[in-house]
A and B are shown apart, each in its own frame.
Chain A
Amino acid sequence: MEPFAFSRATDPGKAISAAAKSSTAQQGAEVRFVAGGTTLLDLMKLNVERPTQVIDINHLPLADVERTPDGGLKIGALVRNSDLAHHPVVQRDYAVLSQALLSGASGQLRNMATTGGNLLQRTRCVYFRDTNMPCNKREPGSGCSAIDGFNRTLAILGTSEHCIATNPSDMNVALTALEATVVIRGTGGERRVPIGEFFLLPGDTPQRETVMMPGDLITHVILPPPHPGARSHYLKLRDRASYEFALASAAVVIAVEGGKITHARVALGGVGTKPWRSPEAEQALQGQPPNEHTFAAAATAALRSAKPQSQNAFKVDLAQRCLTHALSTVVA
């Protein structure tokens, strides 16, 4: 691990001014905020992240979960994954989020990892984590080792010729299906970014994963009020039963009325370079009867633009079956 200066933030404004001196936003930046530390410390030990300054934000007052006036939920950036997963309102109204959180990592890591930190969780692509190998995300312009290398676990949606790294988060997939909003405070004040606009596709700048700017601090995540009558579900498929990243996952929010699907939100995990919302699948579900035929059509639509690599063509089938199964479960 490279040396760095350590300080404890007592006030968000000062932390933001300090971080604004970085040339990039949080990920890969010279000045980094640390909350749970589960991604950052891991990558600092590998010399993938090499901040010169680490600011501990754990003492900022951002650890509350509160109802919004319109019946939604405002989640502080420092709320731990385990607390959010077991929050009674989350379990009742946003089951998909609770299930996604509990399917991720381990009991220990969920006690550490935070809501804000999970939004910025970095890919598990082995070449990103190995400083001996070229990687455009870690070292722009050095090339992508994964495209012609070990790519079994990597993305089939949203890839580019520069990067095929998967977004590893489960929480982000659920937040995408729930149409969450990320509240960011920066040098220019506060702004609210819909989660669908928060993550960037790799394109030719895979080092830039979100719309965050230097200095930006995620303060909250806001969930809209639950859709009346909707039920939600998260299904995660992986190489072992627990404590493993998704090969494919599906977050679904579905309302059925009078034998027809009246509300459908679908997001996929483990297959995209960002948490993958599928408007194509949602369109295939909207207004249709909730049956196997409809679900199969939605699954086909969701993966139509998939571009498998040499080792991960199986993910097309796997993701389709995952989505079909999640849809069958949520309407059962």
Chain B
Amino acid sequence: MSEKKPGEFVEIQLGRRNFLQIVGMTGAASGLGLPVAAHAAAIAAVAHSAAPAEVDGLVSVRFKVNGKAQTLKVDPRTTLLDALRDHLQLTGTKKGCDHGQCGACTVHVNGRRVNSCLSLAAMHEGDEVTTLEGIGQPGNLHPMQQAFLEHDGYQCGYCTSGQIMSAVALMKEPCGPANADVKEAMSGNICRCGAYSNIVAAIQQVRKA
């Protein structure tokens, strides 16, 4: 533990902003590139068909991701999370516990927040999926992304994507006005750095706006 001078604090904070923006841009760029996605799926297809344990080949799924139609052929075991990250290169969505206990993998399916780790990609035929890359980009941030920046609603940043996706979905859910109501509604998103007070402040700012 060392006491930070105000100047140092600002510098670190800017560093985090840059980091988030770089992550956001990478995700947005690859999200635009259909050939990139198709290439990745082809690589995955080769890898999976070579696996000796394969019993039923690949399963085809057509869905929309961030407004763009996608068709993937995946091993049936592929979770929605792995399809987004490994097949579509949308790495804004994070893998934490991979068991529905941390919320880092939160995305929207048909406008509602879900844990993408506990869902098979093949279960999303016809669905509309939205990831962090789909709600805002550098220069055009979603108000919730902006509020997280303003309130320093993170430390290491690993849970942030899931926190923001959960918070954006929360805007359309029944939720009382108090901080305690927000904490209850956000309890499915764990932040091991303990940025909870700032996360609640960011969400409340957007709710009251």
Chain A interface (Cβ < 8 Å from any Cβ of B): 1-6, 8, 34, 36-38, 41-42, 45, 52, 54, 56, 58-59, 82, 86, 105-109, 111-112, 241-243
Contacts and interface: CB of A to CB of B under 8 A. Distances in A.
B183 interface: yes
A2 B52 CA distance: 12
Interface residues of B, number: 39
B122 A56 contact: yes
A109 B100 contact: yes
Interface stretch (B20-28, B31-39, B109-117, B143-151): B109-117
Nearest to B174: A86
Interface of B: 51, 53-56, 59, 75-77, 79, 98-100, 103, 106, 109, 112-115, 117-120, 122-123, 125, 166, 169-170, 173-174, 183-189
B77 A3 contact: yes
B174 A242 contact: no
A52 B55 contact: yes
Given A1-B77, A82-B173, A111-B114, 16 more contacts: A3-B55, A5-B55, A6-B76, A6-B120, A34-B120, A41-B100, A41-B119, A56-B120, A107-B166, A107-B185, A107-B187, A108-B106, A108-B188, A109-B115, A109-B188, A242-B184
A3 B169 contact: no
A38 B115 CA distance: 9
A4 B123 CA distance: 14
Contacts of A241: 184, 187
A181 to B, nearest CB: 28
A235 to B, nearest CB: 15
B188 A243 contact: yes
A42 B100 contact: yes
B172 to A, nearest CB: 11
Contacts of B79: 41
Contacts of A2: 53
B98 A106 contact: no
B77 A4 contact: yes
Given A4-B55, A37-B120, A108 B183 contact: no
A108 B103 contact: yes
Contacts of B187: 106-107, 241-243
A58 B123 contact: yes
A3 B118 contact: no
B114 A6 contact: no
Given A41-B120, A86-B174, A107-B188, A6 B112 contact: no
A108 B120 contact: no
Contacts of A108: 100, 103, 106, 113-115, 166, 188
Contacts of A3: 51, 53-56, 75-77
A243 B191 CA distance: 14
Contact of A112 (B98, B115, B166, B170): B115
Identify which of B100, B117, B174 gathers the most chain A CB atoms within 10 Å of its CB: B100
A247 to B, nearest CB: 17
Contacts of B174: 86
A247 B100 CA distance: 20
8 nearest interchain CB pairs? A106-B188, A5-B56, A242-B187, A6-B76, A243-B187, A111-B112, A41-B118, A3-B55
Given A5-B55, A242-B183, A106 B114 contact: no
A36 B173 CA distance: 19
Contact of B125 (A8, A42, A52): A8
B86 to A, nearest CB: 15
B120 A5 contact: no
A5 B114 contact: no
A256 to B, nearest CB: 29
25 contacts: A3-B77, A4-B55, A4-B76, A8-B122, A8-B125, A37-B118, A41-B100, A41-B118, A42-B99, A58-B123, A59-B125, A82-B112, A82-B173, A106-B103, A106-B188, A108-B100, A108-B106, A109-B118, A111-B112, A111-B113, A112-B114, A112-B118, A241-B184, A241-B187, A242-B183
B162 to A, nearest CB: 9
A105 B113 CA distance: 13
Contacts of B115: 38, 108-109, 112
Contact of B119 (A5, A45, A112): A112
Contacts of B119: 37, 41, 112
A150 B113 CA distance: 34
Contacts of A5: 55-56, 76
Nearest to B185: A107
Nearest to B56: A5
A138 B188 CA distance: 28
Contacts of A82: 112, 173
A14 B120 CA distance: 21
Identify which of A5, A58, A112 gathers the most chain B CB atoms within 10 Å of its CB: A112
